[in-house]
Amino acid sequence: MRVLAFEDKEDIEALLISGGIDFSKLNFEQRWDSENAIAVIRDFAPDILLLDHFMPPMRGLAVLEAVNEAAESSELERPITIVGMSSAGFANRAMSKAGADVTVLKFDLASLDLWPRQG
């Protein structure tokens, strides 16, 4: 499973591993800013795209809107699952309204049923 995270502060790999996720089954990449987000998404072709709402230079909401536009124009294939993640409920609601498949409080990311579990 290919997972691409745009998150500028938290180490998402560490967050998922500490939540019991089997990282050996993931092809994971984290970007610490959203510079050239559409090109990065197109090149990596993630199954799951994780978007932090509050991230420079483009907020996750703007990245989500750009992904939707690029997918509609066939510029890129939309990831199977787009996850909006923030510590702020209003930010997650905005991501959901803009088309995120799932939204979650960032520190609860490992609780989603998307992940392979250790064990």
pLDDT category, 43, cuts 50, 70, 90? very high
Say how far apart CA 62 and CA 93 lie, in whole Å: 14
Tell me, what CATH number does 37's domain have? 3.40.50.2300
Q: Note whether residue 57 is domain-resident.
A: yes
Higher pLDDT, 118 or 18: 18
Residues 81 and 99: beta-carbon distance below 8 Å? no
CA distance 49 to 70: 14
> Which pLDDT score is estimated for 118?
85
Angle between helices 37-44 and 60-72 (to 10 degrees): 60
Helix (H, G, I), strand (E, B) or coil at 23: helix
Domain residues for 81? Answer: 2-110
Q: Which of 34, 38, 41, 35 is closest to 2 using CA atoms?
A: 41
Per residue in 6-30, pLDDT (tens digit) is: 999 999 999 999 999 999 999 999 9
Residue 118 lies in a domain: no
Residue 116 lies in a domain: no
Q: Total domain count for the chain?
A: 1
pTM above 0.85, yes or no: yes
